[in-house]
Copies of this chain bind each other. A is one copy, B any other.
Amino acid sequence: MPTSEPADVATLEALLPKGRVLTAQEASLAAYLHDEGEWAVYGTPRAVVRPESTEEVAEVVRWCARTGTPLVPRGAGTGLSGAANAIEGCVIVSFERMNQVLEVNEAERWARVQPGVVNDDLRAHVAQHGLWYPPDPASSPWSTIGGNVATNAGGMCCVKYGVTRDYVLELEVVTGTGEITRLGTRTAKGVAGYNLVGLIVGSEGTLAVVTEVVVRLRPLPPAPITVAGMFDSLVDAGRAVALVAESGISPSTLELVDRHCLKAVDDWKHMGLSTDANAVLIGRTDARGEQGEFEAAELARCFEEAGASFAAVSADEQESEALYAARRLAYPALERLGPVLTEDVCVPKARVPEVLARIEEISAAHSVLIANIAHAGDGNLHPLIITAAGDEAAKTRAHEAFDEIIDAALAAGGTVTGEHGVGTLKLDGLAKELPPASLALHHAVKHAMDPHGILNPGRAIPPLG
């Protein structure tokens, strides 16, 4: 089947209802060129398709297979690694019109949704049923479940509740050969067949095109108690994280925000955030009753033992919501200062202090501003490297810092990406992380699932050495 037909967009348009295809001549196509990983390369797509059904997606996949055209699936474009960036001459499949919650089953606690549903919209929808979809990337007001599935998105509550993969029961997909099939089971347990659902989650659109998702839900959790800690140094905050890990409690959130982030948010939103501390930890517990009180007290104790200048259970709900909002807004706030190169390493929790110290050294050595936010309780660090727009020398230094942070994480027994994915930005890093025999297995699986090599080629796994 591959490349037996010329890649003439008119033949693609003829397969689909009117209005589905944007061609390179249309100005609106510009909105689909790249995701938020703005440092990643991108090309010009041959066309953007906005399908309204699974069958339409399958038509596009089959056309791409026949014409040898790369297909790039796209959610809201909030990714940070370039995985949804246009490949030169590709077809982008945007799921913006497949954005419905199709079914909610209260007794079994799952929802069946289209990939274009926005994460926060799904949360709001299921909350009406007293249910909760936990994975909460900071992009949740914009990012889609399809994109979350593609990257195995994490978020604030993962430290207690796990990541996207833990909540995907079943997928409907279009395979690399254009067939529609369902994978997985909606039952609480199941070992029938290989775990292809878990394989496709996090594969960045390189193994199949996801057209429907059945997600597992939980009962809504109780209102959390927030514990804030202010620290004179990032490293002290890192020590607090290691102490919490040792304590055995399960905070529902343990986030780190540094002074640069707080200042950027406050300059933008005027929330009256204090920027006296060099680092703030935001801990939360949603355990019920006395267990919640115990965990809150333990968080405060760990913060104090690590040398916090201030640590207290927040009595003021507005204040604690402001801190939490500041964490969510840190990334867009920093983007206002210039292009941001986002790191996403994940390291053993006990190594957080030393890796934070190493990041400070790298910042100084390369004369680049590195702000820090972190899903600290998971050891998932997001150093944000900021340069002035147009400063090419700074950009080069930023790339050097980016590579050195990756090396520091690997040296500490960590991984190059905790939740943002590989896209194109982390291909070199992943090549360092994977043993050659593992990389060979990755390519064998990729070829098995995508024999024509059309599904987001060149993303997620580095080339064979």
| Chain B proximity of A176: nearest CB distance (Å) | 9
Query: Does B193 contact A437, Cβ atoms closer than 8 Å?
Result: no
Task: Name the interface residues of A326-384: CB closer than 8 Å to any CB of B.
Answer: 346-350, 375, 377-380
Is A17 close to B, CB under 8 A?
no
Measured in the bound complex, the distance between the Cα atoms of B180 and A199 in whole Å is 21
For this chain, the copies found in one complex come to: 2
Binary flags per residue of A98-132, CB closer than 8 Å to B gives 1, else 0: 00000000111100000000000000000000100
How far, in angstroms, from A90 to B417 measured CA to CA in the complex? 41
Chain B residues closer than 8 Å to A447, beta-carbon distance: 448
Residues of B near A414 (CB, < 8 A) are 185, 187
Contacting pair B202 A426 (CB below 8 A): no
Q: Are B445 and A190 in contact (CB under 8 A)?
A: no
Instruction: Say yes or no: A107 contacts B438, CB within 8 Å.
Output: no
B435 near A181 (CB under 8 angstroms)?
yes
* Residues A193 and B434 in contact in the complex (CB < 8 Å), given A188-B378, A289-B291: yes
A438: contacting residue among B108, B182, B417, B437, CB under 8 A: B182
> Is A236 in contact with chain B by the CB < 8 A criterion?
no
Chain B nearest CB, measured from A270 CB (Å): 33
| Interface size of A in residues (CB-CB distance below 8 Å) | 89
CB of A190, distance to nearest CB on chain B (Å): 4
- Tell me which residues across on chain B come within 8 A of A108, comparing CB atoms: 245, 348-350
Q: In chain B, what residue has the closest Cβ to A290?
A: B289
In the complex, whether A175 has a CB less than 8 A from a CB of chain B is yes
Q: Which of B180, B192, B346, B433 contacts A434 (CB 8 A)?
A: B192
A291 CA to B107 CA, complexed, in Å: 22
Selected interface stretch from A4-12, A41-49, A152-160, A297-305: A152-160
Complex Cα spacing A414 to B190, Å: 9
Are A192 and B448 in contact, with the CB atoms below 8 A?
no
Q: Are A418 and B190 in contact (CB under 8 A)?
A: yes
Contact, CB under 8 Å: A348 / B186: yes
User: A445 contacts B245, CB within 8 Å?
Assistant: no
Residue on B with the closest CB to A178? B437
Q: Quick check: is A151 within 8 A (CB to CB) of the other chain?
A: yes
Q: Does A413 contact B (CB under 8 A)?
A: yes
Does A87 belong to the interface (CB within 8 Å)? no
**CB neighbours of A436 from chain B (8 A):** 181
Interchain CB contact under 8 A, B441 and A151? no
Q: Give the shortest distance, in Å, between A456 (CB) and chain B (any CB).
A: 13
- In the complex, what distance in Å separates the CA atom of A309 from the CA atom of B449? 54
Residues in chain B near residue A183, CB distance under 8 A: 438, 441
Asked whether A65 is an interface residue with its Cβ less than 8 Å from the other chain, the reply is: no
Indicate which residue in B187, B289, B422 contacts A191 across the interface (CB closer than 8 Å): B422
Residues in chain B near residue A291, CB distance under 8 A: 287-289, 291
A201 at the interface (CB under 8 A from B): yes
- Contact partner of A417 (CB less than 8 A), chosen from B165, B192, B202, B242, is B192
Q: Given the complex of chains A and B, what is the CA–CA distance between A143 and B175 in angstroms?
A: 37
Contact status A430-B192, CB under 8 Å: yes
| Residues from chain B with Cβ under 8 Å of A188 in the complex | 158-159, 346, 349, 377-380, 418
A and B contact pairs by CB, cutoff 8 A, 24 listed: A107-B242, A107-B349, A107-B350, A130-B248, A165-B198, A179-B437, A181-B441, A187-B346, A187-B414, A187-B418, A188-B349, A189-B375, A189-B419, A191-B420, A192-B415, A192-B422, A194-B461, A195-B199, A196-B442, A287-B291, A288-B291, A444-B448, A445-B449, A448-B448
4 additional A-B residue pairs with CB within 8 Å, beyond A192-B416, A193-B438, A194-B461: A182-B435, A194-B202, A287-B288, A441-B449
Instruction: Kindly list the 4 A-B residue pairs having the minimum CB-CB distance in the complex, ordered from nearest.
Output: A181-B437, A448-B448, A444-B448, A198-B198
